[in-house]
Structure 1
Amino acid sequence: MSVASVPQTVSPDLTSRTIAYFSMEIALAPALPTYSGGLGMLAGDTLRSAADTGAPMVAVSLVHRHGYFKQALSPSGQQSETDVIWNPSTLPPAGKSVTITMQGRAIKVSAWRFDVVGVTGHVIPVFLLDSDIEGNDPYDRTLTDHLYGGDTYYRLCQETVLGMAGVELLHELGCLPSVYHMNEGHAALLALGLLEDQIEGKPLSTATEADRLAVAKQCVFTTHTPVPAGHDQFGRDQMYAVLGQERAEALERFGCMHNNLLNMTYIALRFSRWVNGVAMQHGKVSQEMFPEYHVESVTNGVHAATWIAPPLQRLFDDEIPRWRHDNQYFRSVYGIKPSRIANAHRVGKRKLIEAIAERTGEALNESVLTLGFARRVATYKRASLLLQDPKRLARIAKKIGGLQIVFAGKAHPADTAGKGLIQEVFEIAGKISRGSLRILYLENYDWELGATLTQGVDVWVNTPRRPYEASGTSGMKAALNGVPSLSILDGWWIEGCAEDVTGWAIDDGDNDDAEAASLYDKLENRIAPLFAKPNAWARMQQHCIAMNGSFFNTDRMLGQYFANAYFPLAPTIDESPSAEKLGEESAAKSVTASV
């Protein structure tokens, strides 16, 4: 896969960069398979807003030479995966390499540089670490190949490269940030690298609580999931084998274990002065999960210029040209006639229908209400809830003059239950997708397909099981394109839902049947009747952009990080307990707290 079309610039002065953003995955360009889903998209959008706003940032990730995976679906919905191999040598090299000790041997790590360029030309350099270097152990050369690939041992090695080699490389390049932002716990071992710097070559056994606090003053941690599987844990034997005895003993001593497992979330918690969830509700849930720590919240956003359809961008350029520099100008959308917004969205819907025809040979109807459901396939996201009562859904479709539903999403290669969910959608669709009801599942959900869907559907559907949706961002992308959501009140939608104005809430129920019944009620009695009134529907599209677009963007989000986390006006108080106060009993209590 070539990235020759991606322009690169002269590397900026790294000595002036005060914030280092570490993320296991970053969606940098559609041609680069360096992301898997929402976490990587958020990271990429964050850096695009940082470039637009002139932020003094630099970022670190892994090169992922073989990508995440390309999805293929059989006629029955069985998923298969193939590597997405790309050649990073089309990017400029970082110019430096570092050597770290891991698994009892030296491993050399270099990097490639990708430049994120903002609207004014400001550059955020992203360094993609690469261990595929001649002279390294053959196993070590594969460590930066597969995003979320391999077994837990492979993953711990990957996360060691990200954290420890990442810190070393920045320092070798002359970059000495005052703030290190860990985007999820995968990057937590950067704290160990900083601790080694803090004690200036002395044995880690000499590190004190004051040294831990000195590292914590440099670190910010964003946790992204209340789902236990989202918090990486590794066996004690793996920790000793990969990191070595001295480092492993230091992590144990500083309270980074839970249930005798190395817990990356606890490393990040112990070594950060600021911790936040990614939506108001998620901050509360995370506070309950980790009661010994103070957890704030900064609600996620998306990068507007990346996700808004070209016809809407042209309309905004004509009417509110400052929107690219300041997303608060989306409130000025109220000065644009709703019919013009509706006309621009219609072009996006037409593009979606053309893309579907090209992919599947199926011809959808532009005038028919079209629902979109696309995201990573995991059981808690309940992709099949929309199909819970197939007979009722078919009756609604006939009553309202037709209904089209477009699904997309990948299951992790090791997620058997997620793969089964895709097959369940295929099975139900095969029985009822005919006549007035059309149901399609599009394979290989990626950046470009995600954009086409959020720009083209009429309603975005989201059905997670509460409270497991930390934030969600696909609905934000849809809102920026004038697309309302029909969603469970979880994650960002608690803050974004103005009933019958920006969308609709699926009422909480005791079980899936009850929540599906609420979904069908809203679809039949609120959504379809409004869709049949073009002027009223256009007004809702206007509300989505003006109300939700002006807030749920990464410009606002990044501003909150600067004001509250990176360089707070008020001093940040370290409220984490000392290592002496963290026994196994209190640690166990924190992780078993109610979610």
Structure 2
Amino acid sequence: MEFAVDQALKIYSGGLGFLAGSHMKSAFALNQNLIGVGMLWKYGYYDQDRKQDNCMEVEFREKIYHFLVDTKIRVSLEIAGKTVWVAAYYLAPEIFNTAPLFLLTTDIEGNDFETRDISYTLYDSDAATKVAQCMVLGIGGAKVLDALGYTPKVYHFNEAHALSAAFYLSQKGLNREQLKQQLVFTTHTPEEAGNEKHDSQFLYHLGFFAGLSLDEVRSLTGIQDSIFNHTLAALRVSRKANGVSRLHGEVSRLMWGNFEDICEITHITNAQNKTYWADYQLEESRKKNDYPAIASRKKELKKVLFKTVADQCGKLFDPEILTIVWARRFAGYKRADMLTWDTERFDKLLRNSRYPIQLIWAGKPYPKDETAIQTFNKLHYISHLHSNMAVLTGYELGLSKLLKDGSDVWLNTPVVTREASGTSGMTAAMNASLNCSTFDGWICEFARANENAFLIPIAQGNNVNQEDMEQLFDLLENQILPMYYDQPDAWAKMVLTSMHEVGDYFNSDRMATEYYEKLY
């Protein structure tokens, strides 16, 4: 549903898109026999701005891309009894150094306003429109491949959004075993309740099953009750599936293990494209173990980031001061505002003259998630009280790169086991920023406390939020700040260790190779 390949192509929301973009860049670099099929969102996800009172504004602005090529291919599918036309646009490999990418849109002549609307905004909040989006991606995507004359050996469903393609392929005459040979599936959701479910009749009347009867769907997926679980269906029609970190693979096998007839679930740990994300000078200095050069370059990069802070917030940050960044999608379980829960301790931290600190937050909530938007706004209003605290808007690829280049510490605070993988800390580490994190997702495969990262110990009591918050403050006050200012040699050693160890394994070249060899 989303690919983040360049700041200029705004068809993504966050981590899932960043991951798909890195995969496409590595597939290109490795010359893999792979193409991507996605959606061309007219308004993108949304543009994050501010209202007159500075609270967050969600804006939808039309995007026009002159570097995309209209393939002139038009295919149709039936959605809720109406013929919907789909066009395919092409992103050539040389534009952004990606594997070939085909992007689908319904915003074309021949469709009425209602059907044009299907490809307007990523993850539409209306259930029928969201399912229609999945149908365009799945059924429409498979039909576009047919129209191109491509006969893929393997279709990879990255999340269950494209699942309707399985029913289209079955309707073309593939039996279940033949279908399974062609399908592989990646799940990104670590909680059963977070997986998409809909009433089977609702899906049937929309045309989600591509002309198959409900009896045929039940026979194919083994789902007999009235609620259709998209992930469960994908696990039953695929040859093989994977979670996106070692821990997530274990969680997924536990989560789905009681269901009969699912495919094998392995894991392929997420990674990010180092060529795209790593600052060239930092990387060259890392290869030489030249920490003074890293420290010097880091201050230059902090100055660049701080221009954005000054522009957006009217605050002048100091490159000599330890700068901590929390930046990712705003969602409740990620606990963006954890540090502000203890007002007194937070205030003391920001006013510590012996160990000064600068804090930056950024990230986009889902536009209909009022709780997450309130958290974003609350942080912004608190920032008015502190000249060394900033909350930035517009967290997309460009700002993400600036923040990773300019941070000294990358803060990650999800409730443990709720984060399938996470990847932002990987690219921060590539740019000489130390991770400070709860022990979840990819961090479990990377971090060694006080050697290459700072770890918040796993909460042992009943009040996880309180315990995690207190442990985080303890880490900042007693380890991170004193080390940065009083033990520069220890800090240098830790930064170099982190940069060396995030290197090859968390570079998406390894990930793309594993997908090709283990899954495809």
Q: TM-score, structure 2 length as denominator?
A: 0.93
Match of 1:191 in 2: 166
1:451 maps to amino acid: K
Match of 1:247 in 2: 212
1:83 aligned residue (57, 60, 67)? 60
Distance 1:389 1:184, change over 3 A: same
1:539 maps to amino acid: K
Matching of residues 277-288 of structure 1 within 5 Å: 277-288=243-254
Q: Does 2:138 align with 1:163? A: yes
Tell me the distance in 1 between the aligned counterparts of 2:206 and 2:66: 29
Tell me the distance in 1 between the aligned counterparts of 2:409 and 2:213: 50
Match of 2:199 in 1: 235
Mapped contact 2:439–2:455 kept (Cα < 8 A): yes
Tell me the distance in 1 between the aligned counterparts of 2:345 and 2:43: 44
Q: Does 2:156 align with 1:181? A: yes
Mapped contact 2:131–2:208 kept (Cα < 8 A): no
Match of 1:64 in 2: 41
SS of match in other structure, 1:359 = helix
Match of 2:509 in 1: 555
Query: What are the superposed Cα offsets for residues 293-319 of structure 1, whole Å, 9 maximum, x if unpaired?
Result: 332111100011211225325x36xxx
1:441 aligned residue (391, 399, 403)? 391
Matching of residues 192-591 of structure 1 within 5 Å: 192-199=167-174, 211-228=175-192, 230-243=194-207, 246-249=211-214, 250-255=216-221, 257=223, 260-291=226-257, 292=259, 293=262, 294-312=264-282, 315=284, 333=286, 335-397=288-350, 398=352, 400-431=354-385, 433=386, 438-509=388-459, 510=461, 511-532=464-485, 533-566=487-520
SS of match in other structure, 2:171 = helix
Mapped contact 1:52–1:118 kept (Cα < 8 A): no
Tell me the distance in 2 between the aligned counterparts of 1:75 and 1:508: 41
Tell me the distance in 2 between the aligned counterparts of 1:448 and 1:342: 22
Tell me the distance in 1 between the aligned counterparts of 2:505 and 2:184: 23
Match of 2:101 in 1: 126
How far 1:76 sits from its partner (Å)? 6.5
Match of 1:115 in 2: 92
Please list every run of 5 or more consecutive structure 1 residues that lacks an aligned counterpart in the other structure. Answer: 1-23, 200-210, 317-332, 567-595
How far 1:444 sits from its partner (Å)? 1.9
Distance 1:256 1:441, change over 3 A: farther
Q: Which moved more, 1:334-343 or 1:284-293?
A: 334-343
SS of match in other structure, 2:374 = helix
SS of match in other structure, 2:449 = coil
Q: Which moved more, 1:101-110 or 1:46-55?
A: 101-110
Distance 1:118 1:128, change over 3 A: closer
Query: What are the superposed Cα offsets for residues 297-351 of structure 1, whole Å, 9 maximum, x if unpaired?
Result: 11100011211225325x36xxxxxxxxxxxxxxxx4543222222222221121
Distance 1:469 1:219, change over 3 A: same
Q: Does 2:23 align with 1:53? A: no
Distance 1:458 1:303, change over 3 A: same
Match of 1:136 in 2: 111
How far 1:379 sits from its partner (Å)? 0.3
Tell me the distance in 2 between the aligned counterparts of 1:118 and 1:158: 26
Query: What are the superposed Cα offsets for residues 531-582 of structure 1, whole Å, 9 maximum, x if unpaired?
Result: 113333222221121101221111111111122111xxxxxxxxxxxxxxxx
Tell me the distance in 2 between the aligned counterparts of 1:285 and 1:519: 25
1:370 maps to amino acid: T
1:285 maps to amino acid: V
2:212 maps to amino acid: R
Query: What are the superposed Cα offsets for residues 37-81 of structure 1, whole Å, 9 maximum, x if unpaired?
Result: 000110011000000110111110111011110112358763221
SS of match in other structure, 2:242 = strand
Tell me the distance in 1 between the aligned counterparts of 2:107 and 2:308: 37
Q: Which moved more, 1:105-114 or 1:421-430?
A: 421-430
SS of match in other structure, 1:564 = helix
Tell me the distance in 2 between the aligned counterparts of 1:127 and 1:222: 20
Distance 1:137 1:237, change over 3 A: farther
How far 1:137 sits from its partner (Å)? 3.7
Mapped contact 1:156–1:234 kept (Cα < 8 A): no
Distance 1:396 1:139, change over 3 A: closer
Match of 1:27 in 2: 4
How far 1:230 sits from its partner (Å)? 4.0
Mapped contact 2:84–2:106 kept (Cα < 8 A): yes
Q: TM-score, structure 1 length as denominator?
A: 0.81
Please list every run of 5 or more consecutive structure 2 residues that lacks an aligned counterpart in the other structure. Answer: none
Q: Which moved more, 1:440-449 or 1:242-251?
A: 242-251
How far 1:495 sits from its partner (Å)? 1.0
SS of match in other structure, 2:35 = strand
- The count of corresponding residues between Structure 1 and Structure 2 is 509
Q: Which moved more, 1:186-195 or 1:54-63?
A: 186-195
Distance 1:341 1:516, change over 3 A: same
Distance 1:130 1:396, change over 3 A: closer
Mapped contact 2:4–2:11 kept (Cα < 8 A): yes
Distance 1:427 1:355, change over 3 A: closer
Matching of residues 135-154 of structure 1 within 5 Å: 135-154=110-129
Mapped contact 2:361–2:390 kept (Cα < 8 A): yes
Query: What are the superposed Cα offsets for residues 61-120 of structure 1, whole Å, 9 maximum, x if unpaired?
Result: 11101111011235876322111311245421123222222322322211100123499x
1:25 maps to amino acid: E
Match of 1:589 in 2: none
Tell me the distance in 2 between the aligned counterparts of 1:153 and 1:562: 34
Distance 1:75 1:476, change over 3 A: farther
2:79 aligned residue (102, 114, 138)? 102
SS of match in other structure, 1:226 = coil
Q: Which moved more, 1:110-119 or 1:171-180?
A: 110-119
Query: What are the superposed Cα offsets for residues 141-192 of structure 1, whole Å, 9 maximum, x if unpaired?
Result: 2211111124000011110110011011112111111011111111111211
Mapped contact 1:51–1:118 kept (Cα < 8 A): no
Query: What are the superposed Cα offsets for residues 487-533 of structure 1, whole Å, 9 maximum, x if unpaired?
Result: 00000111111111211110122321111111111111111122113
SS of match in other structure, 1:363 = coil
Mapped contact 1:221–1:269 kept (Cα < 8 A): yes
SS of match in other structure, 1:451 = helix
Tell me the distance in 1 between the aligned counterparts of 2:222 and 2:414: 30
How far 1:224 sits from its partner (Å)? 0.6
